[in-house]
Amino acid sequence: MKRKRGLRLALCLLATFPLAACQDEDRQIESIIARYGFSRNVPPSTLHGPGALVARENYDPSDKNPRSVQLTSLCTSRYSVDLYNFKPTLSDTESRDVASQLGGSFNIEAPALKSLFNLQATARAARSAVVTVADAKIYTYAQDELAEIRALLRPVCREIVMTNIGQSNAHQVLKVLEATVELKISFDVAASASIKAKAVNELVKAGFEIAPSSDSVTTRGKALYYGVGLIPVTKI
């Protein structure tokens, strides 16, 4: 029972849909989010790593501790975080802890591919899928390192950040929760070749690596940021 609950938590925590579908797990999810200081990154990607200067999109300004965030970059990496000579730190202890809670494989029904991963064509073609979460890691910068990154910003980048500070919508990524998610999708025997082709094309566009076979496909979203921890930027 404990193992099943842990897998449900992983599914809900990594989901890209509102948590209403996981209401029975809300308290457990809130506990995990509070413990590690993350918001779900929607959609998961590698665009906003530690040190990045970002703004929130489609958000409620009164929500200071959001469960999920949609982010947009204020500065490209080459004019901001890439100017800093040190990489973020891998938090070994926290990484092991979070990996023990999120790791594992579990079965989902085809409709969940749409609600969890926004894979609409794949959900139509699939019969079922096995989801595996692995290699969960936490990377972070210290506060003084974030300040040093802000001090290195190029003029145009600095001006954009200043504008967003005036709008109370400038943030810096303090840390990320990185994980690899593998989907092994079994196609419905009634699915046509064209429907399967649309599913494969959708998965490629979503950033998954593809290893197809005749009746199933294995996809892997490697080392994506599923959680982000933000700090507000009020001056530079």
**Taking the alpha carbons of 223, 230, 52, 151 in that order, is the dihedral positive or negative?**
negative
Of 221 and 136, the structure prediction assigns the larger pLDDT to 136
Domain boundaries, the chain: 2-232
Q: Cα separation of 24 and 35, whole Å?
A: 19
Q: Which pLDDT value is given to residue 116?
A: 67
Candidate from 8-17, 127-136, 167-176, 192-201 with smallest mean pLDDT = 8-17
> What is the band of 15 on the pLDDT scale with cuts at 50, 70, 90?
low
* 11 vs 203 pLDDT, higher one: 203
Is 27 within 8 Å of 42 (Cβ atoms)? no
Q: What is the mean pLDDT of residues 71-91?
A: 96
Share of the chain above pLDDT 70, in %: 82
**pLDDT > 90? residue 44:** no
| pLDDT top residue among 19 and 204 | 204
Higher confidence at residue 216 or residue 51? 51
Strand partners, 40: 68, 227
195-200 CB contacts, 8 Å cutoff, 24+ apart: 195/121, 195/124, 195/125, 196/125, 198/121, 198/125, 199/119, 199/121, 199/122, 199/124, 199/125, 199/126
